[in-house]
Amino acid sequence: MACIRILCFFVISNIHHVQVVTGKLGVTAVKQSHSPEFGIDYIGCRDWTNPTGMNCNPYQGDTDCNAKLPMLCVRVDQSPRPPYLIYGEGAAMPAANYAGWNGGHVSTTLPTEASRFRNRAEANRFCAETLGEHWEIAGIWGSQPHWISGMNGTKYAGSEWTANKDRLLNGGWSFYTYGNVRNDTRFWIQGPADQSSTCWGH
Ligand SMILES: *[C@@H]1O[C@H](CO)[C@@H](O)[C@H](O)[C@H]1NC(C)=O
Ligand SMILES: *[C@@H]1O[C@H](CO)[C@@H](O)[C@H](O)[C@H]1NC(C)=O
């Protein structure tokens, strides 16, 4: 009887522990558009074409880590930037910062809870197990998307992109990539390294 009561105590305390963890929020991204001309997707914090679209929150996170969402995965193979055009005035940064190139491809997994991963390596491994070798979790803030000041259309595209690798700057908030992922859901991504918005830590 005592054993059963101890068992009950542990079960309850475990449930309590899980509920505390449930409060953690993680950052997500969404697809905004696809360009059939280049076979590229535009992916970022918010779909600006959707008036009821949600902003991501790269600082505190925006979605319960126990929610099931597809993981957004990338395979960076140093593909040169295709000559897509960049529009708009930009915001805090020039427009090109919000139109960086990830140097490869994007795909997604089946929906899963981000809380199941303890660290970035486990998230990367899930991408690789689902999609193949060299697939890893996508990030927006940090090293994956890049831009070059003054890039637009053919300027700093193709061989001109590859020849100017020393001018690459880290992009933020949204990026272009080869791919054509679903647009009916947000995706789990890696948040900025200096924020607490990644479900699995850093
Ligand atoms: C990029 O080039 C297009 C076409 O020339 C132009 O309309 C657009 O304003 C340019 N974008 C930027 C950010 O200068
Ligand atoms: C998803 O993409 C299709 C076309 O590919 C488009 O018709 C539809 O409006 C998009 N949905 C959202 C939520 O953006």
Q: Which of 89, 151, 152, 155 to mutate to test the pocket of ligand 1 (most atoms within 8 A of CB)?
A: 152
Identify the domain containing residue 135 by its residue range.
24-188
**Would residue 200 count as lying in a domain?**
no
Cα–ligand 2 centroid distance for 77 (angstroms): 28
152/131 Cα distance (integer angstroms) = 31
Share of the chain above pLDDT 90, in %: 79
Cα–ligand 2 centroid distance for 33 (angstroms): 8
For ligand 2, whether the C-beta of 185 sits within 6 Å is: no
**Would residue 144 count as lying in a domain?**
yes
Number of domains the chain is built from: 1
Report whether 107 contacts 64 (CB < 8 A): no
**Would residue 16 count as lying in a domain?**
no
**Would residue 116 count as lying in a domain?**
yes
**Would residue 198 count as lying in a domain?**
no
For the stretch 132-165, pLDDT in tens is 999 999 999 877 899 999 999 999 999 999 999 9
Closest CA to 147 of 86, 74, 59: 86
- Spell out the per-residue pLDDT of the chain, length 202, in tens: 333 333 333 333 344 344 444 589 999 999 999 999 999 999 999 998 888 889 999 999 999 999 999 999 999 999 999 999 999 988 889 999 999 999 999 999 999 999 999 999 999 999 999 999 999 999 998 778 999 999 999 999 999 999 999 999 998 899 999 999 999 999 999 999 999 999 998 6
For ligand 2, whether the C-beta of 112 sits within 6 Å is: no
**Would residue 10 count as lying in a domain?**
no
**Would residue 180 count as lying in a domain?**
yes
**Would residue 8 count as lying in a domain?**
no
